[in-house]
Structure formats: structure tokens, C-alpha cells
Structure 1
Amino acid sequence: MTPPGTRPTPVILVLGAEYRQAMVDVLTMRYSAEYEIVAPASMEEAIEVLTELKTGSRPVALAACEFFAGGEKATHLLAKFQKFMPTARRLVYVPVERFRGSVAQLRESLAEGRLDLYLMLPQGARDEEFHTAISETLSDWAQSVNYSEIDGTRIIADGPSPDLSRIRDFLDRMGLPNTVHAPDSPAGVAALAAAGPDAVMPLLQASNSDEIISNPSNADLGAVLYGRPTDIGEDAVCDLVVVGAGPAGLGAAVYAASEGLDTLVIDQGPIGGQAGTSSMIRNYLGFPRGISGMRLAQRARSQAVRFGARFLAGHQVTGLRIGEGPDGSHVVELGDDTVRGRTVLIATGVEYRRLGIDALEDLVGRGVNYGAAASTSREVKHKDVYVVGGGNSAGQAAVHLSRFARSVTILVRREGLAATMSSYLIREIEGNPRITVRPRTVVTDGGGEGRLEWLTLHDVDAGTDERVEAAGLYLLIGAAPMCSWLPNDVARDDLGFVLAGADTPWQSWQGGRPPEPFATTVPGIFVAGDIRCGSMKRVASASGEGAGVVPLVHAHLAPDAG
């Protein structure tokens, strides 16, 4: 019996025959302190165990099935059990003698999303590569279902709101454990008493702190970790100021700081940019099991900090004054505050276009979300949700939501997904019974009492409308460049994307030669990532562009530059 007020111990389920006990022994040695290892001996017992687990609300973190267990394909067994444990990660373990013959079959299952990973049975007691894969998979599960025993940052809120969604999304993406408490809960009553009569919810109480922050802004949230612009110092001049902490900005920060450049990274939101909202990126070099955008951003941030880079999270850049520092440096404006840099990298990326339907805009944070908003996925459990968009971000959001929602429908104006989405994601979506794609369909209306309850879908070809029940709408459409803060000196195309290298107007060329790649029309101002005109709009290319800017920064800072 689980004591009141505590979470039930998550389960690792082991299915198999010949090698089942060997797998149980391996997992018990490492994971039995935090997870209960359950290993039914037959299919009948497995069904009974799963029914009991579901009835008792005990979460299954990992389901491990032996290759060809019980004479059936392991992936087929896992597919049968999926309705009992939709959020569980699925593993096939393979004895060494069967490994070669299993690769082709398991590769297909991985590509279609029926399997999260497959591993060879450990060959010794300390097969750390095996345990690294297991630990990362369990960590990914815990993060996606918000399963944490840590009493981290407390949020006091009286119901869903745009501010609550913003705060939770910020904290989740920064990797800060957080829990929401009602105003009449013990934590809520104590926080409200400490905050005083003028407090405006949501309230925030950081872990190990008595300070209560009333409806914190992104700047307040970022200051908890990284401080404020005034901490940089009035007279400080950075070698490189990076505006935007997505893959391009983080790539630049790691390489610039590692080469001794005084580097400052600024972002109006949490570290990671738009890519940080991706639930799972499977085509990034060096991560065969995939990695969430949040974890990739956290690792890059830690790497940059290790080399000496500084960060300002939650602070919006509002302007750039070219060469107006006392020493000719560039002045980056953050509202009433400023920081200076000898060079500046524009890496602000793009933002999703607004849908422009007033009734739905009023429900943002109450079922309507711009971006993946992974923190809301648990709120749509066993409900119907809709994802608007045909890019990789939309596909990743749909796959993630399918672990929680009863159904996920992707709406695209085009004929299908092939023109805008990676093949691996399309195959995974096609193999997922909970996901449906509706081409040539747009959202025209929606509403609900206090939160989203319904949508009107318009069939572009037939000209007909359909009203559907909907608990969630996730909007991932288009790519509007985030560059309203840039002066006209920095040339942009008709859509607002920043021009660089040979794409710049010929009038800005020196000696008949264009600027270097990633160099803009202003000396010392560079651009990388999705905001650059002609970029690939992929995580790997953006991080590579950020790293590619660093040699240009060195050249500009060299004593004989210019």
C-alpha cells in the first residue's frame, strides 16, 4: 500500500522466456531501489498484472520484452500492451546469439515508432553502455510525465491561465522541477499569507527560499538562475553578445567561450529556443536513441557555462545601436538596461505565426497553445487534441501527445506532409494508431467555457465545415523572423530574414567582394540559424552555423582587422 501523499513506485515490466530471469537480475541490481521490477511468467499473468497496474494507477516506466519471447515478435507483444501503458518506454532486449538476425526487423519497428530502443543483453555486471541507455530512457520518461519526487519550485494558482502555462513551460524547459498547488492547499495558504493582500496569482516560491514572487515575468524567472543585465557591469564590454539561445546561439556560445572569448548569451525565453520545445529529436548526429530538445539545450548550456559563457534568460532585446559604445562597441538594449559587445550574433530564430482567430486567442493557455507546450500534455490525457502544422516540430509534438491523448489529429493546408516533414517522422506518424493526418483542412473557429472545448474545421476542397470536440490545440505554423529590434542598417529580405554573405545587397560589398558567410551588412554583426535568409531550418545546421561564426568573430577582433 502506497502511503498517503506519496507517489506510487513506478514499474519496470519484463516480458520474456529463456532470458527473462537474466534481464530481471541485471535490472534488479541497478534499479530496484527506485523501481519495482515486475516479471510475469506467462501471457495470462502479464495481462493480469497490467490490468492490476492500470486499475491501481501505478505507472509503468519501461516495458522490456525479449526478442521472439513466447514465440511472438516482441514488437507485436509490446503493441498489444500499449493501451495499458501508453506513456511507458518500449525496449526489446536481444541475446547476443540472436542480435545479428534481429537488426533488420527491429530497425523497421524503430522507424515506425513501435519501439523506443533495442539493446543487447549485458555481457557483464558493469556494461555501462547498456545502463546509460536504460538510465537515459527512464529519465526521458520521468521528464515527459512530470514524475519527480523533488519538492522543487512551488506555483500557487487558482486554475489554468496563460501566465500559468508560460511559467510552467519556462521552468520545465530550464529543467527546474515544479509543482502547482491550489490556493486552499497547505502550501497555497502559507504562500498567500506570506505574499500579502496585494498578491496576484500565480505565485512562485523557489525551492529553498522564503521569497514569494507575484505573477513573475520571464525576466523574474530567468533571474532566479542567471541574474539580471545589471549584474554584467556598466563598463563591461563582451567580445561576443549572442542574441538568441537556440541551437545556433548555443553552438556559438560553446565554441566562442571554449576559445577564450568573453561571451554573453541573451534570450527572451528559456534556454533552447524553439528547438527546446521538441519532445524528441531523432536525427541529430551522435544520439542514436534520440534526445529531447530540452535536454539538448540543457547540455549545451552546461557545456558553454563550463567554458565561461554567461547567460541572461527571460530578457527581451529591444534594440541595437551600431557602434555607439564609447569604444566603438555595439550597444544591445534590453528595455531600460543595456549591454555592450565588440561583436553581436543575431540568432533569434523564428516564432510561430498567430492564428488570428479572436475566440481562440482568448483561450491561449487554456487549451490553446503556440508551440509544443510539453508541460500541458498531461492535461489532455484520454482526450482529443489537434496539431496545426506540417513541419518537424508539429510531427514531434503529435508523437509526444499520442502517449497521453486518446487521439491526435494533424491538420495541414497542403496535400500531405512529404514536402515539409522528415521521412523518419512521417513513417512514425503513419505507424501510430492514435495519430490521424487531415490534409487540406484549416481551423476557422473554436471556443469553450473557460477553456477550449470545441473547434470548427474547414475542408478547403469541399468547402464544408465540421464542429469537433477538442481539449487541446497546438499551433506550429509558419516561421516569422524575430527581428523587429534590428536597425535598418542590417539588411533583410522581403520576409524579414537577415541577409548574409553573397545574399547581401551588392552596394554593401567591399572591393567587389561580398561579406563572409554569416556576416551581415554591418561589420561585426553576424547571423546564424533560422533567422538567416536561406537557412535549412534544422537543429544540426543551426548549431553548425553558430560554430562557424566564431572564426569570423576572431578575424573581426584581430588587431589588424579592417
Structure 2
Amino acid sequence: MTHTPSIVVLSESHLDTLLSQFARYSGEYAVIPTSTPLAAKQLLGTMVADGIPVALLVVDHPVSGVETEHVLAKLRLLVPTARRMAVSHWDHFRQGAVEMRTPVANGAIDAFMLLPRGKRDEEFHVAVGELLNDWNATVATPEVESTQIITPERDALTNQLLEYLTRVGAPTGVHAPDSEVGQQVLARMEADGTPAWPVVATFDQVGPVSSVRDMATRLYGRPDEIEQDQVADVVVVGAGPAGLAAAVYASSEGLRTVVLESEAIGGQAGTSSMIRNYLGFPRGISGMRLGQRARLQAIRFGTQFYTGWPAVELVPGADGAPHRVVTEGGDVLARAVVIATGVEYRRLGIESLEELVGRGVHYGAAMAAAREMEGRDVVVVGGGNSAGQAAVHLARFARSVSVVVRRDDLSSTMSAYLIQELDANPRITVYGRAQVVDGGGDDRLEWLELEHTDTEHRQRIEVGGLFLLIGAEPHCDWLPPELALDERGFVLTGRQVPQEQWLEDLPPAPQTTSVPGIFAAGDVRAGSMKRVASATGEGASVVSLVHGYLDEQRR
């Protein structure tokens, strides 16, 4: 039986006002009132036992005799996946804003809002909508599936496809062949005998899928669909924040723009469950939604996207000829190239764990896999912001989350707001001076061995998931030898370029590489800040350099 998700509203003094405000959601959510913390606790206990999903908890601040933060913390233990909002009447809002500052900063409360004083307080409802949107994207089972995966078993390829489709924002369901949905999908196929699994159905196609690239091609096509005699003004290689910003600004300024992405649009940032320090999003935004909004913005200006096709070679143009970016799905010719391929997580290098990738072992945040961690103990390896965001998201589902780092602590590698959020979450524990040295399982990950480096003591623990977000390595082996890299493989730009490669004893402009007409932006560039906002800024600013180069070529 499928239950309608609920919004639980706790208020002692303004229940009627809140219920009238939340009436607009009653068609798709069950809005349930309660007037005391004890009643709310008992109500939620019953709902959890009955399997009724809770999307949003709303608490009217202040609560008599107890701190609002304490109330939400207790309720959070019962329903860790629910989003949490505190509201306050104008009489208490100024003082409440002071009292709620720390709980909001450490993630104990997702939003603190002024209680609406009349009709159509759309700023209030924007906040509600964002919280419900985030819950539906990360917790709820999709009501309308844009894609269905039909398979008799949840194998590694199925998990990879589900992760990719989650990252591109496609609501997806996984169904057995003998299920009602499975039978409907298979009936659309024109094939005899048993098909190769998995079978994937979209709105216009149905058939077996053999790889993530196969799925990406169905959605976005192949680079060789571009007429070979057509030359783009600029090809952007990589669709992370830097590449997306470059695409938006280039295409909005009239440049014919093509974007190539080896995986999913959004890049590594697209796997972040919640980016809370990005300018203009006070309640945060998921990396997936940020990436998809940027993609739609770029498409509106005419950008062409092709995903699943990594660049395998870059052939610089000579004597005014266009540059050629080579992929296994066709070549793209462009007058200018922006390299925005970012970085990849470093491999752990433990053979027994590499064999379990996709079966409990994941590189990156693996958003789709988080729901499978319910009731399990999981380990996150890494000390950067991506690792912290992954730990917070996993803690909504997992019984416990252990963050393992080689350093003493997280202070030198993670933003302060995330450290506070980890410290405030009772399900998360940080282990400094530790590393994963072994692990295994029969068919999926079942155990890990940790080594505490200060004592050399080894500890074996039972786990259900391992999420690896370690290191940052550029992927630049496809670039030509004349393009200068530093000793770690990052692209050199501006004054970083060796002096013997300067033209007329002048250094290249910032973000310009050692090859005229080829630029770099974001994490792949040597000396970049490795933050979403800085990558976006570099992607936007590189477009003026592209314009300057193209103008010079025309002259």
C-alpha cells in the first residue's frame, strides 16, 4: 500500500494560521496538525511504524518550556529523512533569528522563516517548495517515472545507470520483468526470446542498454551528429560548474557553443546532495539541480550538449585552421577550446574493494545508492567538502556514518559550516589519523579493515557501504604535448606557462594556455581554488578571452 507523504505542523498558538497556509499542499500531502512536542513525538512514532513517509516537519517557535532546536532534534531522530522548518510570529522573530542562528548554521534546521501575516506570502512558500522539492528528489519514490529500468537483479550496471539518471535529473524506477510495469515495458519491445538485461524505457525508446554511454547517447545523441563542415566558435570540454558557466555566457553572447561531457552534466559538483555556501541560495541547492538549471539556461541560448563521450585527443589547429576535439563518437571542430574537465577522485587501489565497485563500494557521493543504505553502517573516506556533504546526506538513511581521514581532523580541508554540521549530527563520527586498508564480501561489500595510523592498530568493522571521495587528480592525458602542464598534471595558464612558450616575450592572458585559442577554467587549471563558486567565476570570465581571441583571428 502506498501512503500519501505528510507535512506535520506543530504549533501551540498559531495552528489555524499555519494550517490555512499549508492548505495549498493538501491535494498532494497529508497536512497533519499537532500542538505539543509530546503529541508530535507520539504521532511520528505511529507514522513511522505504519510506514507513512514524512516530507516536512514544521515547528512554531518558541515552544513552551523547551528549546525549538531540541524539539526538532528529537523529531529528527524519528524521521531523519524529513526536512525541518522553524517558523516564528513577528512578535518573536527578531529574538528567534538570534536563537536559530546556530541550529541553521549546523544543519539542525533547514530553514527559519517568518510566519505569513496574510495571503500569498510567496517568499514563505518558495522556501516550503524548495524543501519539498529536495525531499522528493532524494527520498521519495518518483510518482511519475520518466525512465524505467527493467531487470531481474540489481547488478552493477543497473546501479551505474540509476546513478547516472539521478544525476541528470531523470526520475527513474527499477522494476522486475514480471512486475506490472515490467510487463508493460517489455510489451513495447519488438523482440523474440529473452532480452539482454537491463532493458530501459524512455518516453520514445525501449530496449537493452549495455553501458552508461549507451544511455547518454539515447538522451543527448552523438557528437558526429554535427555536420563535419560546421565549425563551432567554441567547444567546452567538461560540463561541471566551470564548463556550464562558460557555455551560458558564450552562447548568450552569440557564440556557437558545443559542450562535451564524459559523464553526467554537473560534473563532480553534480553529485553533491546539498551545496549550502553557493551565493544566492540561502537554503542551499543540490549539485544536480544547480547543474540542470545551468544546462537549461545554456540550451535556451543555443548550446548543444553531448554527454557520455570523453575527449580522447585535442589536435590544435595550424595556420588559422580550427582545433579538433576527438571523441569515440565523432570529432568536433571549433575556433576556440575551453578545457573544463575538472578532476577525478583518486582510486583507492585495494583490489578486493575495486572488485566491489557498484556493489557497496562507490567513488563519489553516489546519490542513488544512499537510499539503499537504510539501516546500514557506512564509511565515507575523504576530508573535503564533497565528503562532508555526502556524509550529511547518507546520515538521513544509514544507521551510522564514519568519516575516515588521514589527517588529524577536518579543519584544514573542509568548510567550517560543514564541520559544524557533522559535529551536530549524532549519526556521524569522524575518525582522524585512519585509513581503509582492506575489505570484502561475498557478492557485495560486507566488511572493512581500518588502520589507525598513530597506533598502527587495525580494526575490522561490518559495513554496508563505502563512499570514496579522496584526492583530486586531473585527467589530461588527452591533451597535446605542446600544452604545458605542471608536475601534477594540471593545466598551466597565464604567467604559469613556461617563459620559453610565451609569444613575443609576453605571458599569456590569465586562463590562456600555452597554445593560442585553447583556454582552461575550473579545477583542471593549476592554482584554482577547487570550489564551485570560483569554478563558475572562471567559466564566466574565460568567455571574454575567447571573444578577444576570435576577434584577433578575424582581423
TM-score, length of structure 1 as denominator length: 0.96
The offset of 1:197, in angstroms, is 3.9
Question: Does structure 1 residue 391 correspond to structure 2 residue 384?
Answer: yes
Deviation at 1:203, TM superposition (A): 1.8
Change (3 A) 1:336 1:428: closer
**1:214 maps to which residue?**
209
In structure 2, what is the equivalent of residue 205 of structure 1? 201
Give the aligned partner of residue 79 of structure 1.
73
Distance 1:560 1:59 in 2: 60
Higher mean C-alpha deviation, range 376-385 or range 190-199: 190-199
What is the rounded CA distance, in whole Å, between the counterparts of 1:189 and 1:327 in structure 2? 57
Note if 1:18 corresponds to 2:13.
Answer: yes
Question: Deviation string for 1:479-537 (max 9, x for gaps)?
Answer: 01011111111110111000000000001112222100000000000000000000000
Residue 488 (structure 1) aligned with residue 481 (structure 2): yes
Distance in 2 (CA, whole Å) between partners of 1:350 and 1:130 is 38
For 2:544, the equivalent position in structure 1 comes to 551
Q: 1:504 aligns with which of 469, 474, 497?
A: 497
Aligned to 2:240: 246
Q: Does 1:164 align with 2:179?
A: no
From 515, 518, 522, the counterpart of 1:522: 515
How many residue pairs get aligned? The number is 553
Tell me if 1:57 matches 2:51: yes
Matched residue of 2:73: which SS? helix
SS of the residue corresponding to residue 118 of structure 1 reads strand
Query: 1:287 aligned to 2:285?
Result: no
Is 2:9–2:18's contact at 8 Å kept on the other side of the alignment? yes
Q: What letter is aligned with 1:41?
A: S
Q: What TM-score does the superposition give when structure 2 sets the normalisation length?
A: 0.97
Tell me whether 1:130 sits opposite 2:101 in the alignment. Answer: no
Q: Is the 8 A contact 1:218 1:315 kept in 2?
A: no
Relative distance call for 1:36 and 1:146 in structure 2 (3 A) is closer
What amino acid does structure 2 have at the position aligned with 1:15? Answer: L
C-alpha separation between the residues in 1 aligned to 2:251 and 2:351?
Answer: 45
Is the 8 Å Cα contact of residues 222 and 329 (structure 2) preserved in structure 1?
no
> In the alignment, which of 525, 535, 538 is matched to residue 532 of structure 1?
525
Query: 1:201 is matched by which residue type in structure 2?
Result: W
Q: Which moved more, 1:53-62 or 1:41-50?
A: 41-50
Instruction: Describe the SS at the equivalent of 1:69.
Output: coil
- 1:162-561, aligned counterparts within 5 Å? 162-189=156-183, 191=185, 194=189, 195-197=191-193, 199-206=195-202, 208-215=203-210, 217-323=211-317, 328-335=321-328, 337-559=330-552
- 1 CA distance for matches of 2:478 and 2:343? 13
- List runs of 5+ in structure 1 lacking aligned partners: none
Percent sequence identity is 50
Question: CA separation in 2, counterparts of 1:481 and 1:124?
Answer: 53
Deviation at 1:185, TM superposition (A): 2.2
**Residue 450 of structure 1: SS of its match in structure 2?**
coil
**Distance in 1, Cα, partners of 2:185 & 2:86:** 47
Rounded to whole Å, the distance in 2 between the matches of 1:448 and 1:121 is 51
- C-alpha displacement of 1:73: 1.7
Q: Which moved more, 1:219-228 or 1:70-79?
A: 219-228
Matched residue, 1:110: 104
Change (3 A) 1:315 1:134: same
Name the Cα RMSD after superposition. 1.5
CA distance in 2, matches of 1:332, 1:94: 56
Q: Matched residues in 1 for 2:140 and 2:480: separation?
A: 42
Contact 1:239 1:263 in 2 (8 A): yes
> 1: CA distance between counterparts of 2:347 and 2:442?
22
Distance in 2, Cα, partners of 1:255 & 1:393: 26
Contact 1:386 1:408 in 2 (8 A): yes
Distance of 1:538 and 1:437 partners within structure 2: 22
CA contact (8 A) 2:273 2:367 kept: yes
Q: Return the letter of the residue paired with 1:249.
A: G
Deviation sequence 1:396-449 (CA, Å, 0-9, x none): 000000011010000000111011000110011111110000011111111112
Question: Which runs of 5 or more residues in structure 2 are unaligned?
Answer: none
Residue 89 of structure 1: aligned partner: 83
CA distance in 2, matches of 1:483, 1:198: 42
CA shift, 1:291, in A, is 0.5
2:32 maps to 38
SS of 1:558's partner is: helix
Where 1:257 maps in the other structure, the secondary structure is helix
Deviations 1:101-125, CA, capped at 9 Å, x for gaps:
1112111101122111111011221
Give the drift of 1:192. 5.3
Which of the numbers 103, 110, 120 marks the counterpart of 2:114?
120
Residues 142 and 171 in structure 2, CA contact (< 8 A), matched pair in contact too: yes
Alpha-carbon distance between aligned partners in 2 of 1:534 and 1:521, rounded to the nearest angstrom: 16
Separation in 1, partners of 2:181, 2:123? 42
Is the 8 Å Cα contact of residues 320 and 330 (structure 1) preserved in structure 2?
yes
